[in-house]
Structure 1
Protein backbone atom coordinates (compact mmCIF):
# COMPACT_ATOMS: atom_id res chain seq x y z
CA UNK A 1 0.00 0.00 0.00
CA UNK A 2 1.27 3.47 -0.81
CA UNK A 3 2.06 6.10 1.79
CA UNK A 4 -1.01 8.07 0.80
CA UNK A 5 -3.32 5.07 0.84
CA UNK A 6 -2.24 4.40 4.41
CA UNK A 7 -3.10 7.91 5.60
CA UNK A 8 -6.00 9.06 3.42
CA UNK A 9 -9.53 9.01 4.86
CA UNK A 10 -11.43 5.83 3.99
CA UNK A 11 -13.48 5.88 0.82
CA UNK A 12 -16.45 4.20 2.47
CA UNK A 13 -19.33 6.55 3.31
CA UNK A 14 -21.35 6.08 6.49
CA UNK A 15 -25.06 5.22 6.43
CA UNK A 16 -27.63 6.60 5.96
CA UNK A 17 -26.68 6.92 2.30
CA UNK A 18 -27.31 10.25 0.60
CA UNK A 19 -29.01 10.35 -2.78
CA UNK A 20 -26.86 9.10 -5.61
CA UNK A 21 -24.88 6.59 -3.57
CA UNK A 22 -24.02 3.13 -4.81
CA UNK A 23 -24.73 -0.05 -2.80
CA UNK A 24 -22.10 -2.77 -2.41
CA UNK A 25 -22.51 -6.41 -1.51
CA UNK A 26 -20.90 -5.65 1.86
CA UNK A 27 -24.00 -3.69 2.85
CA UNK A 28 -21.92 -0.50 2.95
CA UNK A 29 -22.78 2.38 0.65
CA UNK A 30 -20.40 4.63 -1.22
CA UNK A 31 -20.69 7.95 -2.90
CA UNK A 32 -19.78 7.94 -6.57
CA UNK A 33 -16.00 8.20 -6.64
CA UNK A 34 -15.81 11.55 -8.39
CA UNK A 35 -18.30 13.14 -5.99
CA UNK A 36 -16.59 11.72 -2.93
CA UNK A 37 -13.08 12.85 -3.84
CA UNK A 38 -14.39 16.24 -4.99
CA UNK A 39 -16.09 16.65 -1.62
CA UNK A 40 -12.83 15.95 0.16
CA UNK A 41 -11.04 18.50 -2.00
CA UNK A 42 -13.61 21.14 -1.10
CA UNK A 43 -13.07 20.57 2.62
CA UNK A 44 -9.27 20.84 2.41
CA UNK A 45 -8.45 17.16 2.84
CA UNK A 46 -5.77 17.34 0.15
CA UNK A 47 -4.48 20.91 0.43
CA UNK A 48 -5.51 24.52 -0.27
CA UNK A 49 -9.04 25.76 -0.87
CA UNK A 50 -9.99 25.14 -4.54
CA UNK A 51 -11.69 28.55 -4.54
CA UNK A 52 -8.30 30.20 -4.04
CA UNK A 53 -6.72 28.59 -7.13
CA UNK A 54 -7.33 29.58 -10.74
CA UNK A 55 -6.73 27.77 -14.01
CA UNK A 56 -4.26 29.74 -16.13
CA UNK A 57 -4.30 27.59 -19.27
CA UNK A 58 -6.79 25.27 -20.93
CA UNK A 59 -6.35 23.33 -24.15
CA UNK A 60 -7.54 20.30 -26.07
CA UNK A 61 -5.45 17.71 -27.88
CA UNK A 62 -6.80 15.75 -30.85
CA UNK A 63 -4.94 12.69 -32.11
CA UNK A 64 -5.43 10.00 -34.72
CA UNK A 65 -3.07 7.04 -35.03
CA UNK A 66 -2.64 3.80 -36.92
CA UNK A 67 0.58 2.07 -35.92
CA UNK A 68 2.72 0.49 -38.60
CA UNK A 69 1.84 -3.17 -38.99
CA UNK A 70 -1.53 -2.74 -37.27
CA UNK A 71 -4.76 -3.17 -39.18
CA UNK A 72 -6.83 -0.76 -37.09
CA UNK A 73 -6.37 2.80 -35.86
CA UNK A 74 -8.14 5.03 -33.37
CA UNK A 75 -8.74 8.65 -32.43
CA UNK A 76 -8.38 10.53 -29.15
CA UNK A 77 -9.47 13.91 -27.86
CA UNK A 78 -8.36 15.15 -24.46
CA UNK A 79 -9.28 18.27 -22.47
CA UNK A 80 -6.43 19.53 -20.29
CA UNK A 81 -6.27 22.25 -17.63
CA UNK A 82 -3.06 23.64 -16.17
CA UNK A 83 -2.67 24.65 -12.53
CA UNK A 84 0.87 25.72 -11.68
CA UNK A 85 3.15 22.87 -12.75
CA UNK A 86 0.30 20.34 -12.87
CA UNK A 87 -1.85 19.46 -15.88
CA UNK A 88 -5.15 17.67 -15.33
CA UNK A 89 -6.79 15.81 -18.20
CA UNK A 90 -9.95 14.03 -19.25
CA UNK A 91 -10.42 12.16 -22.51
CA UNK A 92 -13.69 12.62 -24.38
CA UNK A 93 -15.24 11.23 -27.54
CA UNK A 94 -13.88 13.20 -30.53
CA UNK A 95 -16.11 16.19 -31.26
CA UNK A 96 -17.98 15.89 -27.95
CA UNK A 97 -16.65 19.06 -26.28
CA UNK A 98 -18.67 22.23 -26.90
CA UNK A 99 -16.66 24.78 -28.87
CA UNK A 100 -16.40 27.30 -26.01
CA UNK A 101 -15.31 24.82 -23.31
CA UNK A 102 -11.62 25.74 -23.38
CA UNK A 103 -12.22 29.49 -23.19
CA UNK A 104 -14.81 29.00 -20.42
CA UNK A 105 -12.15 27.37 -18.22
CA UNK A 106 -9.39 29.98 -18.52
CA UNK A 107 -9.17 32.20 -15.45
CA UNK A 108 -11.90 30.30 -13.59
CA UNK A 109 -11.33 29.04 -10.06
CA UNK A 110 -10.93 25.33 -9.50
CA UNK A 111 -13.97 25.46 -7.20
CA UNK A 112 -16.13 26.89 -9.98
CA UNK A 113 -14.92 24.27 -12.46
CA UNK A 114 -15.71 21.47 -10.02
CA UNK A 115 -19.34 22.58 -10.52
CA UNK A 116 -19.11 22.96 -14.30
CA UNK A 117 -22.00 21.35 -16.25
CA UNK A 118 -19.51 19.45 -18.46
CA UNK A 119 -18.29 16.27 -16.77
CA UNK A 120 -14.95 16.36 -18.58
CA UNK A 121 -14.24 19.81 -17.12
CA UNK A 122 -15.03 18.57 -13.60
CA UNK A 123 -12.66 15.61 -14.00
CA UNK A 124 -9.86 17.68 -15.53
CA UNK A 125 -10.21 20.37 -12.83
CA UNK A 126 -10.06 17.82 -9.99
CA UNK A 127 -7.13 16.08 -11.69
CA UNK A 128 -5.22 19.38 -12.00
CA UNK A 129 -5.97 20.27 -8.38
CA UNK A 130 -4.76 16.91 -7.03
CA UNK A 131 -1.70 16.98 -9.30
CA UNK A 132 -0.90 20.39 -7.82
CA UNK A 133 -1.45 19.31 -4.21
CA UNK A 134 -0.14 15.73 -4.38
CA UNK A 135 2.41 15.48 -7.20
CA UNK A 136 3.55 12.06 -8.39
CA UNK A 137 6.44 11.41 -6.02
CA UNK A 138 7.75 8.64 -3.75
CA UNK A 139 6.31 10.45 -0.73
CA UNK A 140 2.85 9.64 -2.10
CA UNK A 141 3.64 6.12 -3.24
CA UNK A 142 4.70 6.75 -6.85
CA UNK A 143 7.51 4.88 -8.61
CA UNK A 144 8.99 6.40 -11.76
CA UNK A 145 9.08 4.13 -14.81
CA UNK A 146 10.91 5.43 -17.85
CA UNK A 147 9.67 4.95 -21.40
CA UNK A 148 12.41 5.09 -24.04
CA UNK A 149 12.50 7.30 -27.07
CA UNK A 150 11.10 5.71 -30.20
CA UNK A 151 8.00 5.32 -32.32
CA UNK A 152 4.52 5.52 -30.84
CA UNK A 153 4.22 1.74 -31.17
CA UNK A 154 7.55 1.14 -29.41
CA UNK A 155 6.53 3.37 -26.52
CA UNK A 156 3.04 1.84 -26.41
CA UNK A 157 4.50 -1.63 -26.00
CA UNK A 158 6.88 -0.60 -23.22
CA UNK A 159 4.04 1.17 -21.43
CA UNK A 160 1.89 -1.95 -21.81
CA UNK A 161 4.59 -4.07 -20.18
CA UNK A 162 4.64 -1.73 -17.17
CA UNK A 163 0.85 -1.66 -16.86
CA UNK A 164 0.35 -5.41 -17.16
CA UNK A 165 3.18 -5.89 -14.66
CA UNK A 166 0.96 -4.33 -12.00
CA UNK A 167 -1.28 -7.41 -12.17
CA UNK A 168 -0.46 -10.55 -10.15
CA UNK A 169 0.02 -12.46 -13.40
CA UNK A 170 0.92 -15.79 -11.82
CA UNK A 171 -2.45 -15.87 -10.06
CA UNK A 172 -4.60 -14.55 -12.91
CA UNK A 173 -6.49 -16.75 -15.35
CA UNK A 174 -8.63 -14.21 -17.24
CA UNK A 175 -8.60 -10.40 -17.18
CA UNK A 176 -11.53 -8.16 -17.98
CA UNK A 177 -9.96 -5.38 -20.07
CA UNK A 178 -12.15 -2.26 -20.09
CA UNK A 179 -10.93 0.17 -22.74
CA UNK A 180 -9.24 -1.84 -25.47
CA UNK A 181 -5.58 -1.07 -26.17
CA UNK A 182 -4.05 -3.66 -28.46
CA UNK A 183 -0.58 -3.36 -26.89
CA UNK A 184 -2.08 -4.36 -23.53
CA UNK A 185 -3.80 -7.37 -25.08
CA UNK A 186 -0.53 -8.27 -26.79
CA UNK A 187 1.21 -8.25 -23.41
CA UNK A 188 -1.42 -10.46 -21.82
CA UNK A 189 -1.11 -12.89 -24.72
CA UNK A 190 2.67 -13.00 -24.26
CA UNK A 191 2.10 -14.06 -20.64
CA UNK A 192 -0.50 -16.63 -21.75
CA UNK A 193 -3.17 -14.87 -19.70
CA UNK A 194 -6.71 -14.88 -21.09
CA UNK A 195 -8.75 -11.72 -21.46
CA UNK A 196 -12.22 -10.39 -22.21
CA UNK A 197 -11.91 -7.18 -24.27
CA UNK A 198 -14.60 -4.58 -23.54
CA UNK A 199 -15.16 -1.11 -24.96
CA UNK A 200 -18.26 1.02 -25.41
CA UNK A 201 -17.32 1.42 -29.09
CA UNK A 202 -17.42 -2.33 -29.73
CA UNK A 203 -15.63 -3.59 -32.83
CA UNK A 204 -12.82 -6.15 -32.97
CA UNK A 205 -9.31 -6.47 -31.57
CA UNK A 206 -6.19 -6.68 -33.72
CA UNK A 207 -6.67 -10.49 -33.61
CA UNK A 208 -10.25 -10.14 -34.87
CA UNK A 209 -11.77 -11.01 -31.49
CA UNK A 210 -15.16 -9.36 -30.83
CA UNK A 211 -15.07 -6.49 -28.35
CA UNK A 212 -17.91 -6.64 -25.81
CA UNK A 213 -19.81 -3.41 -25.15
CA UNK A 214 -21.22 -4.40 -21.73
CA UNK A 215 -18.31 -4.92 -19.34
CA UNK A 216 -20.58 -5.39 -16.32
CA UNK A 217 -22.17 -8.45 -17.90
CA UNK A 218 -18.77 -10.17 -17.86
CA UNK A 219 -17.56 -9.32 -14.36
CA UNK A 220 -18.33 -12.84 -13.19
CA UNK A 221 -16.18 -14.32 -15.95
CA UNK A 222 -12.87 -12.76 -14.84
CA UNK A 223 -10.53 -12.92 -11.87
CA UNK A 224 -8.90 -9.50 -12.41
CA UNK A 225 -9.85 -6.18 -14.00
CA UNK A 226 -7.66 -3.87 -16.09
CA UNK A 227 -9.46 -0.61 -16.85
CA UNK A 228 -8.74 2.69 -18.56
CA UNK A 229 -8.94 5.98 -16.68
CA UNK A 230 -11.63 6.89 -19.22
CA UNK A 231 -14.01 4.88 -17.04
CA UNK A 232 -13.78 7.76 -14.54
CA UNK A 233 -14.57 10.30 -17.22
CA UNK A 234 -17.57 8.45 -18.66
CA UNK A 235 -19.04 7.36 -15.32
CA UNK A 236 -18.46 3.61 -15.67
CA UNK A 237 -15.79 3.17 -12.98
CA UNK A 238 -18.06 2.92 -9.93
CA UNK A 239 -19.61 -0.51 -10.64
CA UNK A 240 -16.18 -1.93 -11.50
CA UNK A 241 -14.83 -0.58 -8.22
CA UNK A 242 -17.81 -1.93 -6.27
CA UNK A 243 -17.24 -5.40 -7.76
CA UNK A 244 -13.52 -5.32 -6.92
CA UNK A 245 -14.28 -4.29 -3.34
CA UNK A 246 -16.90 -6.98 -2.93
CA UNK A 247 -14.83 -9.81 -4.40
CA UNK A 248 -11.24 -8.81 -3.67
CA UNK A 249 -10.32 -9.17 -7.34
CA UNK A 250 -7.28 -7.14 -8.42
CA UNK A 251 -8.26 -3.89 -10.15
CA UNK A 252 -5.50 -2.08 -12.05
CA UNK A 253 -6.14 1.28 -13.74
CA UNK A 254 -4.09 2.77 -16.57
CA UNK A 255 -4.76 6.48 -16.43
CA UNK A 256 -4.17 9.44 -18.65
CA UNK A 257 -7.64 10.67 -17.68
CA UNK A 258 -7.61 11.33 -13.94
CA UNK A 259 -3.98 10.29 -13.43
CA UNK A 260 -3.80 12.23 -10.15
CA UNK A 261 -7.31 11.24 -9.02
CA UNK A 262 -7.15 7.46 -9.32
CA UNK A 263 -4.14 6.87 -7.02
CA UNK A 264 -6.37 8.18 -4.22
CA UNK A 265 -8.30 4.89 -4.52
CA UNK A 266 -5.37 2.61 -3.70
CA UNK A 267 -6.35 0.25 -0.92
CA UNK A 268 -10.06 0.97 -1.46
CA UNK A 269 -10.67 -1.53 -4.26
CA UNK A 270 -7.84 -0.44 -6.54
CA UNK A 271 -4.64 -2.50 -6.34
CA UNK A 272 -2.49 -0.70 -8.93
CA UNK A 273 -2.40 2.48 -11.02
CA UNK A 274 -0.26 3.49 -13.97
CA UNK A 275 -0.53 7.29 -13.87
CA UNK A 276 0.49 9.19 -17.00
CA UNK A 277 -0.09 12.93 -16.80
CA UNK A 278 0.23 15.18 -19.83
CA UNK A 279 2.29 15.09 -22.06
CA UNK A 280 1.33 11.53 -22.97
CA UNK A 281 3.64 9.00 -24.57
CA UNK A 282 2.01 9.40 -27.98
CA UNK A 283 2.80 13.13 -28.18
CA UNK A 284 6.59 12.96 -28.20
CA UNK A 285 9.14 10.54 -29.62
CA UNK A 286 11.58 11.30 -26.80
CA UNK A 287 11.84 9.65 -23.38
CA UNK A 288 8.82 10.00 -21.06
CA UNK A 289 7.73 8.86 -17.61
CA UNK A 290 4.97 6.74 -16.09
CA UNK A 291 4.24 6.85 -12.37
CA UNK A 292 3.35 3.42 -10.98
CA UNK A 293 1.40 2.90 -7.76
CA UNK A 294 0.73 -0.35 -5.93
CA UNK A 295 0.84 -3.63 -7.78
CA UNK A 296 4.04 -5.64 -7.95
CA UNK A 297 7.28 -3.79 -7.22
CA UNK A 298 9.25 -3.12 -10.40
Structure 2
Protein backbone atom coordinates (compact mmCIF):
# COMPACT_ATOMS: atom_id res chain seq x y z
CA UNK A 1 0.00 0.00 0.00
CA UNK A 2 1.38 3.39 -0.99
CA UNK A 3 1.74 6.22 1.51
CA UNK A 4 -1.16 8.68 1.36
CA UNK A 5 -0.59 11.89 -0.60
CA UNK A 6 -2.91 13.94 1.59
CA UNK A 7 -5.47 13.73 4.37
CA UNK A 8 -8.21 13.33 1.77
CA UNK A 9 -6.24 10.50 0.15
CA UNK A 10 -5.90 8.73 3.51
CA UNK A 11 -9.65 9.00 4.06
CA UNK A 12 -10.25 7.40 0.65
CA UNK A 13 -7.81 4.60 1.49
CA UNK A 14 -9.76 3.93 4.67
CA UNK A 15 -13.07 3.95 2.80
CA UNK A 16 -11.95 1.23 0.40
CA UNK A 17 -10.61 -0.98 3.17
CA UNK A 18 -6.86 -0.43 2.77
CA UNK A 19 -6.60 0.24 6.51
CA UNK A 20 -8.72 -2.64 7.71
CA UNK A 21 -12.05 -4.18 6.77
CA UNK A 22 -13.30 -3.09 10.20
CA UNK A 23 -14.38 0.16 8.57
CA UNK A 24 -17.59 -1.53 7.42
CA UNK A 25 -18.67 -2.11 11.04
CA UNK A 26 -16.95 0.74 12.89
CA UNK A 27 -19.39 2.94 14.81
CA UNK A 28 -18.90 5.88 17.19
CA UNK A 29 -20.13 4.89 20.63
CA UNK A 30 -19.21 7.99 22.67
CA UNK A 31 -18.66 11.64 21.84
CA UNK A 32 -17.65 14.54 24.08
CA UNK A 33 -16.12 18.02 24.19
CA UNK A 34 -13.32 18.87 26.61
CA UNK A 35 -12.89 22.53 27.53
CA UNK A 36 -9.73 23.51 29.36
CA UNK A 37 -8.15 26.68 30.63
CA UNK A 38 -4.69 26.89 32.17
CA UNK A 39 -2.22 29.32 33.63
CA UNK A 40 0.76 27.56 35.15
CA UNK A 41 2.17 28.82 38.43
CA UNK A 42 5.00 31.34 37.75
CA UNK A 43 3.85 31.84 34.13
CA UNK A 44 2.47 35.14 32.88
CA UNK A 45 0.21 33.88 30.13
CA UNK A 46 -2.88 31.71 30.04
CA UNK A 47 -4.55 29.76 27.26
CA UNK A 48 -7.46 27.46 26.64
CA UNK A 49 -8.21 24.38 24.61
CA UNK A 50 -11.46 22.97 23.24
CA UNK A 51 -11.21 19.37 22.00
CA UNK A 52 -13.71 17.14 20.24
CA UNK A 53 -13.30 13.43 21.04
CA UNK A 54 -15.05 10.37 19.63
CA UNK A 55 -14.74 6.76 20.74
CA UNK A 56 -14.58 3.87 18.29
CA UNK A 57 -14.24 0.41 19.85
CA UNK A 58 -11.35 0.69 22.33
CA UNK A 59 -9.86 3.92 20.97
CA UNK A 60 -10.57 7.63 21.41
CA UNK A 61 -9.76 10.07 18.62
CA UNK A 62 -9.50 13.81 19.15
CA UNK A 63 -9.30 17.12 17.31
CA UNK A 64 -8.71 20.52 18.88
CA UNK A 65 -11.14 23.18 17.72
CA UNK A 66 -11.55 26.90 18.23
CA UNK A 67 -13.81 27.80 21.17
CA UNK A 68 -17.43 27.89 20.04
CA UNK A 69 -16.71 26.11 16.76
CA UNK A 70 -18.75 23.02 17.64
CA UNK A 71 -21.99 22.74 19.57
CA UNK A 72 -23.23 19.92 21.74
CA UNK A 73 -25.70 18.99 19.01
CA UNK A 74 -22.88 18.24 16.55
CA UNK A 75 -21.24 15.97 19.11
CA UNK A 76 -24.44 14.12 19.92
CA UNK A 77 -25.21 13.67 16.22
CA UNK A 78 -21.97 11.70 15.85
CA UNK A 79 -22.89 9.14 18.49
CA UNK A 80 -24.18 5.89 17.03
CA UNK A 81 -23.18 6.81 13.48
CA UNK A 82 -20.85 4.73 11.30
CA UNK A 83 -17.31 6.00 10.94
CA UNK A 84 -17.59 5.65 7.15
CA UNK A 85 -20.47 8.14 7.21
CA UNK A 86 -18.67 10.58 9.51
CA UNK A 87 -15.66 10.60 7.18
CA UNK A 88 -17.96 12.47 4.75
CA UNK A 89 -19.16 14.93 7.42
CA UNK A 90 -19.11 18.62 6.41
CA UNK A 91 -17.07 19.50 9.52
CA UNK A 92 -13.33 18.93 9.09
CA UNK A 93 -13.02 18.48 12.86
CA UNK A 94 -15.54 15.64 12.84
CA UNK A 95 -13.82 13.95 9.89
CA UNK A 96 -10.42 14.21 11.57
CA UNK A 97 -11.71 12.94 14.93
CA UNK A 98 -13.55 9.97 13.45
CA UNK A 99 -10.55 9.03 11.30
CA UNK A 100 -8.21 9.39 14.27
CA UNK A 101 -10.33 7.11 16.44
CA UNK A 102 -10.71 4.48 13.74
CA UNK A 103 -7.01 4.35 12.87
CA UNK A 104 -6.07 4.04 16.55
CA UNK A 105 -8.55 1.17 16.93
CA UNK A 106 -6.97 -0.83 14.10
CA UNK A 107 -3.34 0.18 14.79
CA UNK A 108 -2.90 0.87 18.51
CA UNK A 109 0.02 3.09 19.46
CA UNK A 110 1.32 0.71 22.09
CA UNK A 111 2.00 -1.93 19.42
CA UNK A 112 4.00 0.35 17.12
CA UNK A 113 5.63 3.15 19.12
CA UNK A 114 7.74 3.85 22.16
CA UNK A 115 5.50 4.50 25.17
CA UNK A 116 6.91 7.21 27.44
CA UNK A 117 5.38 8.19 30.77
CA UNK A 118 5.01 11.83 31.74
CA UNK A 119 5.44 11.66 35.49
CA UNK A 120 3.13 12.91 38.20
CA UNK A 121 3.51 16.60 39.02
CA UNK A 122 2.16 20.11 38.91
CA UNK A 123 0.71 21.40 35.67
CA UNK A 124 3.99 23.17 34.90
CA UNK A 125 6.14 20.16 35.77
CA UNK A 126 4.10 17.91 33.51
CA UNK A 127 4.08 20.49 30.72
CA UNK A 128 7.87 20.84 30.83
CA UNK A 129 8.43 17.08 30.98
CA UNK A 130 6.15 16.47 28.03
CA UNK A 131 7.78 19.31 26.11
CA UNK A 132 11.26 17.84 26.57
CA UNK A 133 10.06 14.49 25.26
CA UNK A 134 8.69 16.26 22.19
CA UNK A 135 11.73 18.48 21.54
CA UNK A 136 14.00 15.44 21.78
CA UNK A 137 12.46 14.25 18.51
CA UNK A 138 14.03 17.17 16.64
CA UNK A 139 17.41 16.77 14.96
CA UNK A 140 20.02 19.46 15.67
CA UNK A 141 19.06 22.51 13.59
CA UNK A 142 19.67 26.27 13.54
CA UNK A 143 16.08 27.53 13.65
CA UNK A 144 12.71 25.82 14.12
CA UNK A 145 9.31 27.00 12.98
CA UNK A 146 7.00 26.24 15.92
CA UNK A 147 3.32 26.13 14.97
CA UNK A 148 0.89 26.13 17.86
CA UNK A 149 2.70 28.05 20.57
CA UNK A 150 3.38 26.06 23.74
CA UNK A 151 5.74 28.04 25.95
CA UNK A 152 7.19 24.88 27.49
CA UNK A 153 8.37 23.77 24.04
CA UNK A 154 9.97 27.17 23.49
CA UNK A 155 11.62 26.92 26.91
CA UNK A 156 13.41 23.69 25.93
CA UNK A 157 14.44 25.10 22.56
CA UNK A 158 15.93 28.10 24.37
CA UNK A 159 17.74 25.75 26.75
CA UNK A 160 19.31 24.05 23.74
CA UNK A 161 20.28 27.33 22.13
CA UNK A 162 18.04 26.56 19.16
CA UNK A 163 16.46 29.53 17.42
CA UNK A 164 12.78 29.51 16.62
CA UNK A 165 9.94 31.41 15.01
CA UNK A 166 6.72 31.13 17.02
CA UNK A 167 3.48 30.95 15.04
CA UNK A 168 -0.17 30.72 16.07
CA UNK A 169 -3.40 31.98 14.56
CA UNK A 170 -4.11 33.76 17.85
CA UNK A 171 -0.98 35.93 17.58
CA UNK A 172 0.19 37.73 20.70
CA UNK A 173 3.51 37.22 22.45
CA UNK A 174 5.50 34.35 23.90
CA UNK A 175 6.34 34.14 27.60
CA UNK A 176 9.56 36.04 26.77
CA UNK A 177 7.85 38.91 24.97
CA UNK A 178 8.62 37.68 21.45
CA UNK A 179 6.00 38.30 18.74
CA UNK A 180 3.87 35.33 17.72
CA UNK A 181 3.42 35.32 13.95
CA UNK A 182 0.06 34.42 12.48
CA UNK A 183 1.27 33.29 9.01
CA UNK A 184 3.32 30.14 9.45
CA UNK A 185 3.80 29.45 5.76
CA UNK A 186 5.56 32.78 5.20
CA UNK A 187 8.22 31.80 7.75
CA UNK A 188 9.06 28.40 6.24
CA UNK A 189 11.96 29.52 4.05
CA UNK A 190 14.05 30.86 6.93
CA UNK A 191 13.65 27.80 9.17
CA UNK A 192 15.46 24.48 9.03
CA UNK A 193 12.73 22.34 10.61
CA UNK A 194 9.08 22.52 11.58
CA UNK A 195 7.65 21.51 14.97
CA UNK A 196 3.89 21.65 14.82
CA UNK A 197 0.71 20.79 16.62
CA UNK A 198 -1.55 18.22 15.02
CA UNK A 199 -4.19 20.93 14.87
CA UNK A 200 -2.92 21.82 11.38
CA UNK A 201 -4.93 18.82 10.21
CA UNK A 202 -8.12 20.78 10.78
CA UNK A 203 -7.11 24.33 9.92
CA UNK A 204 -5.97 23.86 6.32
CA UNK A 205 -2.21 24.13 6.73
CA UNK A 206 -1.28 20.43 6.90
CA UNK A 207 -0.99 19.89 3.16
CA UNK A 208 1.28 22.90 2.43
CA UNK A 209 3.56 21.85 5.30
CA UNK A 210 3.65 18.26 4.05
CA UNK A 211 4.44 19.31 0.49
CA UNK A 212 7.16 21.68 1.66
CA UNK A 213 8.78 18.91 3.69
CA UNK A 214 8.65 16.52 0.74
CA UNK A 215 10.14 19.12 -1.60
CA UNK A 216 12.95 20.34 0.66
CA UNK A 217 13.67 17.42 2.99
CA UNK A 218 13.36 19.70 6.00
CA UNK A 219 12.31 17.78 9.13
CA UNK A 220 8.59 17.96 9.94
CA UNK A 221 7.89 16.87 13.52
CA UNK A 222 4.46 16.71 15.18
CA UNK A 223 3.25 16.90 18.74
CA UNK A 224 -0.17 15.40 18.23
CA UNK A 225 -3.11 15.36 20.54
CA UNK A 226 -5.16 16.13 17.44
CA UNK A 227 -4.79 13.27 14.98
CA UNK A 228 -2.36 11.14 16.98
CA UNK A 229 -3.46 8.09 15.01
CA UNK A 230 -3.43 9.88 11.65
CA UNK A 231 -0.01 11.50 11.49
CA UNK A 232 2.09 8.30 11.92
CA UNK A 233 0.59 7.15 8.59
CA UNK A 234 2.66 9.89 6.91
CA UNK A 235 5.98 8.88 8.48
CA UNK A 236 8.64 8.61 5.80
CA UNK A 237 6.34 10.41 3.36
CA UNK A 238 6.99 13.96 4.50
CA UNK A 239 6.59 13.51 8.24
CA UNK A 240 9.84 12.91 10.14
CA UNK A 241 8.68 12.08 13.67
CA UNK A 242 5.53 12.15 15.80
CA UNK A 243 4.82 12.50 19.49
CA UNK A 244 1.38 10.88 19.62
CA UNK A 245 -0.66 11.73 22.68
CA UNK A 246 -4.15 10.26 22.58
CA UNK A 247 -6.84 11.14 25.11
CA UNK A 248 -6.55 11.50 28.11
CA UNK A 249 -3.96 14.25 27.68
CA UNK A 250 -1.21 15.16 30.14
CA UNK A 251 -3.07 18.27 31.32
CA UNK A 252 -6.18 16.39 32.45
CA UNK A 253 -4.66 14.69 35.49
CA UNK A 254 -1.88 15.36 37.99
CA UNK A 255 -0.88 11.69 37.89
CA UNK A 256 1.26 9.88 35.33
CA UNK A 257 0.16 9.90 31.68
CA UNK A 258 1.53 8.38 28.49
CA UNK A 259 2.58 9.56 25.09
CA UNK A 260 3.91 7.46 22.21
CA UNK A 261 6.95 8.49 20.21
CA UNK A 262 7.60 7.62 16.60
CA UNK A 263 11.16 8.99 16.25
CA UNK A 264 12.94 9.89 13.06
CA UNK A 265 16.38 8.50 12.32
CA UNK A 266 18.18 11.78 13.11
CA UNK A 267 16.39 12.74 16.32
CA UNK A 268 18.63 14.10 19.07
TM-score tier, shorter chain, comes to over 0.9
For residue 49 of structure 1, report the CA deviation from its aligned partner: 4.2
Deviates more, 1:96-105 or 1:62-71: 96-105
Q: Is residue 2:126 matched to residue 1:155?
A: yes
- Structure 2: how far apart are the matches of 1:112 and 1:11? 20
Contact kept, 8 Å, 2:223 with 2:244, in 1: the verdict is yes
Aligned-residue Cα RMSD (Å) equals 1.2
1:187 to 144, 150, 156: 156
Which residue pairs with 1:280 in the alignment?
A: 249
For residue 297 of structure 1, report the CA deviation from its aligned partner: 6.6
Which residue pairs with 2:60 in the alignment?
A: 87
Counterparts in 2 of 1:243 and 1:297: CA distance versus 1, 3 Å = closer
Q: How many residues align?
A: 267
Which residue pairs with 1:9 in the alignment?
A: 2
Deviation per residue, 1:114-146 (Å, 9 max, x gap): 1111111100000000010110034x3x11111
Q: Is residue 2:204 matched to residue 1:235?
A: yes
For residue 151 of structure 1, report the CA deviation from its aligned partner: 1.2
Contact kept, 8 Å, 2:241 with 2:263, in 1: the verdict is yes
Which residue pairs with 2:17 in the alignment?
A: 44
Contact kept, 8 Å, 1:60 with 1:80, in 2: the verdict is yes
Deviation per residue, 1:74-125 (Å, 9 max, x gap): 0100000001110000000011103301110110000111111111110000
User: SS of the residue aligned with 2:13?
Assistant: helix
TM (norm. structure 2) is 0.97
- Structure 1: how far apart are the matches of 2:132 and 2:22? 38
- Structure 1: how far apart are the matches of 2:188 and 2:26? 40
Which residue pairs with 2:71 in the alignment?
A: 98
For residue 9 of structure 1, report the CA deviation from its aligned partner: 1.8
- Structure 1: how far apart are the matches of 2:179 and 2:267? 33
For residue 10 of structure 1, report the CA deviation from its aligned partner: 2.6
Contact kept, 8 Å, 2:26 with 2:57, in 1: the verdict is no
Which residue pairs with 1:61 in the alignment?
A: 34
Q: Which aligned pairs between 1:1-298 and structure 2 lie closer than 5 A?
A: 8-12=1-5, 33-138=6-111, 140=112, 142-169=113-140, 172-295=141-264
Gaps of 5+ in 1: 1-7, 13-32
TM (norm. structure 1) is 0.87
For residue 53 of structure 1, report the CA deviation from its aligned partner: 1.3
Structure 1 stretches (4+) deviating beyond 4 angstroms? none
- Structure 2: how far apart are the matches of 1:132 and 1:37? 16
Contact kept, 8 Å, 1:250 with 1:271, in 2: the verdict is yes
Contact kept, 8 Å, 1:266 with 1:294, in 2: the verdict is no
